[in-house]
Chains A and B, each alone.
Chain A
Amino acid sequence: MDFTLRVVMTGAALLGLISGALGTLAVLRRQGLIGDAVSHAALPGIVLAFLISGSKAPVVLQLGAAVSGTLALLWVQTILRTTRIRFDAALGMALAVFFGIGVVLLSLAQHTAGAAQAGLDRFLFGQAATLLRADLMVMAIVGVTTFFLVVALWKEVKLVLFDADYARALGLPVRRLEMLLIVLLVVAIVIGLQTVGVVLMSAVLIAPGAAARQWSKRYGQVFLLAGFFGLLSGATGAWLSSLAPRLPTGPIIVLLLSFLATLSLFVAPERGLLWQYRKRKKAARNAQQAVLTVLRELERRHPHEARPHPAASIQTLLGPEVPVNAILRQLERHGQVQHEPGRGWRLADRNPEATHESRS
């Protein structure tokens, strides 16, 4: 494995780890799209940072991105606090307006800075190949710091995430903690922008958390698992995209993550759709057995009456929750019961001919 690939893979893995784990902070609060807004809103900050400093060093641009991303979120919060506008509209507007300002600044930069600004727009779509070792260092340091922060404030973070009112009642500084969570999220996003770009960043934040949530009910496990999923997809995606020419890294990582999330939706134990399907099947079988047992019991208790039993009496015996009629029709299709219109249901006979004679 050559050096560049190693750097890119490590970078993508780190990015996946950080944003996957921190993304759970947003996903579990049902605010996953904050990531989308912040990443779009980062653009004016990036361009302004370049225009002011004249430098294209990632750290400078990331700082600008973080500032304008945070500003956008603060704007959203103020709108929510002071107007009737809902979260979705406020977020969407902040996203689009900030991005629009960014585009304006970008075209200004093209006039004033000329060729020097070339490459600024790589933040729009991300280019993992431009990762340098220095970037890795920044990522590693930021990653370790954020992890340390989250672990140190673990109890408080959990409380604010799941029951902010209770946290407030306990006297925790909820507003400040929420602010901290937002800053952490912004940091995770800003770090990822360079690699996967504005549009795909939201997937890198959301997908690992959404996938991990299917596997566990405990936040600690979801947090770690999301980080792991992110790391796995980041590294694999970077490696896959190196295999063929013209396979951009960002989209590959995102598609891997989407695949992981979809897979988790289906196969995760207990919550997964396949498991749910099996459970339903089993429940349906049990219900069928119950109906059959009731019919058998009724016929055993009334051996001399050759009359069928109405569905209503089975319903009475099984309680109102059981969809008796539907089950009876299913059983009829399987040939296990017989329906006599207007009279009711009875168990199917082994030799239908005999019953026919005896009845006539």
Chain B
Amino acid sequence: MSPALEIQLVAVLTAMACALPGAFLVMRRMSLISDAISHAVLPGIVLGFLLTHSLHHPLLLLLAGAAGLLTVYLIELLEKTGRLREDAAIGLVFPALFSIGVLLIARFADQVHLDTDAVLLGELAFVPFDRLQWQGYDLGPQALWTMGGLCFLNLLLVGLFYKELKLAAFDPAYAAVIGFRPVLLHYLLMSAVAVTIVAAFHAVGAILVIALMIAPPATALLLARRMPTYLLYSVLAGVLSAVPGYGMAWLLDVSIAGSMATMAGVLFVVVWLIAPEDGLWARWRRRKKQQIDFALDLLLLHLLHHEHQVTALDERHPDTLPQHLNWTETALQRILKAGEQQGLVRITSGEVHLTQAGRERAQNRLEMLTPAQRLTSRPSMIPAEPLPLPQTRLRPHSRDQEKSVL
């Protein structure tokens, strides 16, 4: 495998591994936890580095994962006091842990190769240099195996606990009632997030991990209406950020992590613009259509109203219509064009006439607009007698009685 292909593969695997737990984080409105964890793993990493003097020792991952879970635990502890909101709890915990990490680096690891830059930004370009050897065989870059394994683990997690995760995301109270142990599930998901972040960070850096965890699921949320499609689109969006991201980095010779994050953002914006239902373009089209529909209704009703009157000639002339409807000349032309296209009005010898379809639609609307008639034709919704007041349950002994006893 060429180094470029190896980097590309690692990038894709990382994106996929991140998108899966990220999708559930976004669903549960806990996206910013990933931000907190990704920063707060620093003291764990530094501590592991100080103990083992290697950036790749398993102990490092363990300690970093522990730091990640500690973050989650501390945030929940602070929230549970009821004195702080979630945002403040997150904003207090992770900078404190990060500070400890930075101080540790500054005090004890200044001379060695461990930068906060390296942790925060990561560098995929070095992936091919760090290879996994087994009995003299070259098994490819180590990161390929780590990220592949992680991808598999996350897939396994989602596969095994799909129903539980889904329920906990949408209705945690119900999940608890039917015995799904949401706390356990919560920590399982959090562990997955922490492990993913830790494993991904030294390939791609702390910030990109956040981008890959949040942006693809957010993109998927614009398109999907059901959980399975949402998960699928999340993973796809991750891959579609990773591939062009690496391409751009290669073309411009810039940071791979940064350009993958950028591409994740670009992909979001593109989907945001063109998504068939929730996209900005679709929304704008829908609104325009509603405007034209409403204006057409107004025009049709106006024509219907005056159809057999003496003034009909005056009322349906394109020159006088803008005045009567309080529209501008151009607006009228647009509406008339739309009406002609839809076969609702017909312009003959400079006069606007209703077609049969137009007349039917106007009559239909007229019926809809007179709700009183429709209501009386149905059985009444208002009860004949006032409902009985709910009876207050009497408590056998109120507090006052208690005082009188004592």
Q: Is the CB of A294 within 8 A of B406?
A: yes
Report the minimal beta-carbon distance from A217 to chain B, rounded to whole angstroms: 13
Q: Is the CB of A247 within 8 A of B106?
A: yes
CA of A2 to CA of B99, assembled, Å = 26
Chain A contacts with B in 276-295, Cβ cutoff 8 A: 290, 293-294
A102 at the interface (CB under 8 A from B): yes
Q: Is the CB of A100 within 8 A of B262?
A: yes
B366 at the interface (CB under 8 A from A): no
A90-B402 CB under 8 A given contacts A100-B260, A255-B99: no
B169 at the interface (CB under 8 A from A): no
Chain B contacts with A in 97-145, Cβ cutoff 8 A: 98-100, 102-103, 106-107, 110, 116-117, 120-121
CA of A318 to CA of B260, assembled, Å = 66
A169 at the interface (CB under 8 A from B): no
CA of A85 to CA of B278, assembled, Å = 11
Q: Is the CB of A92 within 8 A of B31?
A: yes
B residues near A104, Cβ cutoff 8 Å: 248-249, 252, 254-255, 258-259, 262
Report the minimal beta-carbon distance from B44 to chain A, rounded to whole angstroms: 16
Q: Is the CB of B255 within 8 A of A107?
A: yes
A residues near B98, Cβ cutoff 8 Å: 199-200, 251, 254
CA of A265 to CA of B102, assembled, Å = 25
Q: Is the CB of A103 within 8 A of B257?
A: yes
Report the minimal beta-carbon distance from B164 to chain A, rounded to whole angstroms: 22
Q: Which of B85-93, B154-162, B170-178, B326-334 contacts A (4 or more CB under 8 A)?
A: B85-93
CA of A283 to CA of B83, assembled, Å = 20
Closest chain A residue, CB of each to CB of B106: A246
B residues near A87, Cβ cutoff 8 Å: 29
A100-B396 CB under 8 A given contacts A35-B91, A93-B265, A297-B405: no
Closest chain B residue, CB of each to CB of A203: B95
The tally of residues in B whose CB lies under 8 Å from a CB in A reads: 71
Report the minimal beta-carbon distance from B129 to chain A, rounded to whole angstroms: 19
Q: Is the CB of A206 within 8 A of B35?
A: no
What is the number of contacts between chain A and chain B, taking CB atoms within 8 Å?
A: 229
Q: Which of B31, B100, B215, B278 has the most CB of A within 10 A?
A: B31
Q: Mark A76-95, 1 if CB is under 8 A from B, else 0.
A: 00010011111111111101
B185 at the interface (CB under 8 A from A): no
Q: Which of B217, B221, B257, B265 has the most CB of A within 10 A?
A: B265
B296 at the interface (CB under 8 A from A): no
A195 at the interface (CB under 8 A from B): no
Binding site secondary structure of chain A:
helix
Q: Is the CB of B397 within 8 A of A84?
A: no
B378 at the interface (CB under 8 A from A): no
A residues near B236, Cβ cutoff 8 Å: none
Q: Is the CB of A106 within 8 A of B106?
A: no
Closest chain A residue, CB of each to CB of B217: A89
Chain B contacts with A in 358-378, Cβ cutoff 8 A: none
Chain A contacts with B in 235-256, Cβ cutoff 8 A: 246-248, 250-252, 254-255
A residues near B221, Cβ cutoff 8 Å: 83-85, 89
A358 at the interface (CB under 8 A from B): no
B residues near A103, Cβ cutoff 8 Å: 121, 207, 255, 257-258, 261
Q: Which of B98, B102, B252 has the most CB of A within 10 A?
A: B102
A107-B254 CB under 8 A given contacts A100-B261, A124-B120: yes
CA of A95 to CA of B214, assembled, Å = 10
A residues near B213, Cβ cutoff 8 Å: 92
Partner of A33, one of B29, B90, B116: B90
Q: Is the CB of B102 within 8 A of A250?
A: yes
A88-B102 CB under 8 A given contacts A96-B214, A202-B91, A206-B87: no
A210-B257 CB under 8 A given contacts A89-B31, A99-B207, A200-B99: no
Chain A contacts with B in 206-257, Cβ cutoff 8 A: 206-207, 209-210, 213-214, 246-248, 250-252, 254-255
Binding site secondary structure of chain B:
helix
Partner of B211, one of A100, A108, A247: A100
Q: Mark A320-332, 1 if CB is under 8 A from B, else 0.
A: 1000000000000
Report the minimal beta-carbon distance from A51 to chain B, rounded to whole angstroms: 13
Partner of B258, one of A101, A294, A297: A101
B264 at the interface (CB under 8 A from A): yes
Q: Is the CB of A203 within 8 A of B259?
A: no
Report the minimal beta-carbon distance from B194 to chain A, rounded to whole angstroms: 16
A residues near B29, Cβ cutoff 8 Å: 86-89
A333 at the interface (CB under 8 A from B): no
B399 at the interface (CB under 8 A from A): yes
Q: Is the CB of B88 within 8 A of A32?
A: yes
CA of A72 to CA of B25, assembled, Å = 21
Closest chain A residue, CB of each to CB of B396: A316
CA of A91 to CA of B36, assembled, Å = 13
Q: Which of B31, B39, B87, B95 has the most CB of A within 10 A?
A: B95
Q: Which of B88, B102, B116, B207 has the most CB of A within 10 A?
A: B88
Partner of B35, one of A85, A95, A101: A95
Report the minimal beta-carbon distance from A26 to chain B, rounded to whole angstroms: 8
CA of A92 to CA of B90, assembled, Å = 13
A residues near B399, Cβ cutoff 8 Å: 319
Closest chain A residue, CB of each to CB of B206: A199
CA of A294 to CA of B397, assembled, Å = 14
B26 at the interface (CB under 8 A from A): yes
Partner of A97, one of B86, B87, B262: B262
Q: Is the CB of A206 within 8 A of B92?
A: yes
Chain A contacts with B in 88-128, Cβ cutoff 8 A: 88-93, 95-104, 106-108, 111, 121, 124-125
Q: Is the CB of A100 within 8 A of B83?
A: no
A194 at the interface (CB under 8 A from B): no
Closest chain A residue, CB of each to CB of B97: A258
Supplied contacts A32-B87, A83-B222, A124-B117, 12 more A-B pairs, CB within 8 Å: A27-B85, A40-B207, A86-B31, A91-B32, A93-B218, A93-B264, A103-B261, A206-B88, A207-B92, A254-B96, A258-B99, A273-B81
A positions within 8 Å CB-CB of B: 27, 30-33, 35-36, 40, 79, 82-93, 95-104, 106-108, 111, 121, 124-125, 199-200, 202-203, 205-207, 209-210, 213-214, 246-248, 250-252, 254-255, 258, 261, 265, 271, 273, 290, 293-294, 297, 316-320
6 CB-based A-B contacts, threshold 8 Å = A31-B87, A33-B32, A83-B221, A100-B259, A246-B110, A247-B107
